[in-house]
Amino acid sequence: MKHKNKKIIIALSIVVLLIIFFSIYLSSLNFEVLNPKGIIALQERNLIYLALGLSLFVVIPVYTLLILFAYKYRASNKESDYKPNWDKNAVLETIWWVIPSVLIAVLGYFTWTSSHALDPFKKLSPQSSKNLRIEVVALDWRWLFIYPDQKIATMNYFKMPVNTNVTFYITSSAPMNSFWIPQLAGQIYAMPGMNTELNLSSYQTGIYRGLSANLSGIGFSNMTFNDDVVSTSDFLNWVNNVKASNNALSYQKFLELSKPKVDSSIINFSNVDTSIYVKLINSYMNPVEKYKTNQNLNNPMAM
C-alpha cells in the first residue's frame, strides 16, 4: 500500500512539473488573438470572452452532474436509489429547454449588435475622407499594398500611422485569400473580381504580423507580411522617402508582377498608377472573344 502511494506521489509531481514547464513556455508566446493592439481586435477578443463566459453556465452544470451521477449511481454502489422506470419529468425538461434559450437569447443580442458594430465594411469615423486608404491586392503568392492618395505602393509590408483610422480595399489577382492581421482586426476574404473592405485602427506602435488565412496554392504558407505601425511624423517621412525612390508601377508592370511567384522580398514603388485596383477588378468583367468589339450588347447590370 505504501509503495503504491509513493508511486502516485512521483507520478503527480512529474505531472505538476510538466504543467509548470508548459506554462512557462506558453507565457513566452504571443497570443496574438488575445493580445490586441487595435480597437477592433480588442472588441473581438472581448466577444470571445463573453461567449466563453456565458457558455460556462451550461458547461459547469454538465461536468458537475456527469461526475456526480457517474460516481453516485455506479453499479457497485447498492446504497443509492434505483428507479429503472423513472423516465420523464416535465419540470426538469422545461428547465433545460428554457435556461439555454435564455442564455442564447442574451448571446444572440450581442451577436446581432456586434455583427453590426464590428462590420468590417463600417467606417470607424463618420468623415471617411480623413481615413487613410490602402488598396490591398493578393497576388500569387505575395501582398501588394497601394496607397492611392499618396501614389505609392509596397510589397510584402506596409506602414500606417498610430491612432489613425485605416480603410483597406481588398481584392485578389489570384485564387481566394484571406487578409488577416490578428492583433489589429479579424480577417476578410480577398477575392478576384470583387472588393471587400476592412476598417481598423491601432492604438500602439509596433510591428504586427499579417498573413493570408485561406489556402491559395503552393506558396500560401509564405504569404506573410509585416504591418509597421509608426507615429504620424514617422509615417509622413516614410511616405516621402518612398516617393523619392525611383521605381514606378504602371498597370503593365503590375501585370508582370502578378505572375505566380513565391517571394517574400520587400519592394517600394513610387509614381503608382492609381487606377490599377479598379482596372484589376474590371478585368474580370471582360467579355469573351466574340463579344469584345460589340459593346452595345453589354449587360446593364454588370459593374
Least gap, CB of 90 to other proteins (angstroms)? 9
Contact pattern for other proteins over residues 43 through 82, marking x by CB under 8 A: xxx-xx--xx-xxx-xx--xx-xx--xx--xxx----xxx
- Please identify which residue in the block is written with the cell numbers 457558455: 55
Residue of the chain from 5, 79, 84, 246 that contacts other proteins (CB under 8 A):
84
How many CB atoms within 10 Å of residue 116?
Answer: 9
The answer to whether 303 contacts other proteins (rule: CB under 8 A) is no
Minimum distance of other proteins from residue 53's CB (angstroms): 10
d(CA 109, CA 107): 5
To the nearest whole angstrom, how small is the minimum distance from the Cβ of residue 215 to other proteins? 5
Question: Judged by CB under 8 A, which of 186, 202, 235, 269 binds other proteins?
Answer: 186
Residues 6+ apart with CB under 8 A from 72: 80
Residues 221-260 that bind other proteins (CB under 8 A): 221-222, 224
200 interacts with other proteins by CB under 8 A: no
Q: Is 204 in the site for other proteins (CB under 8 A)?
A: no
CA–centroid distance for 173 within its chain:
20
- Among the candidate windows 38-46, 124-132, 143-151, 272-280, which touches other proteins by CB under 8 A? 38-46
Binding mask of the shown chain, residues 105 to 124, with x at each position contacting other proteins by CB under 8 A: --xx-xxx-xxxxxxxxx--
**261 touches other proteins by CB under 8 A:** no
* C-alpha torsion 250→179→170→174, nearest 10: 60
Helix residue ranges, H only, 196-250? 232-244
Whole-number Å distance between alpha carbons of 193 and 147: 20
Contact predicate 134/200, CB 8 Å: no
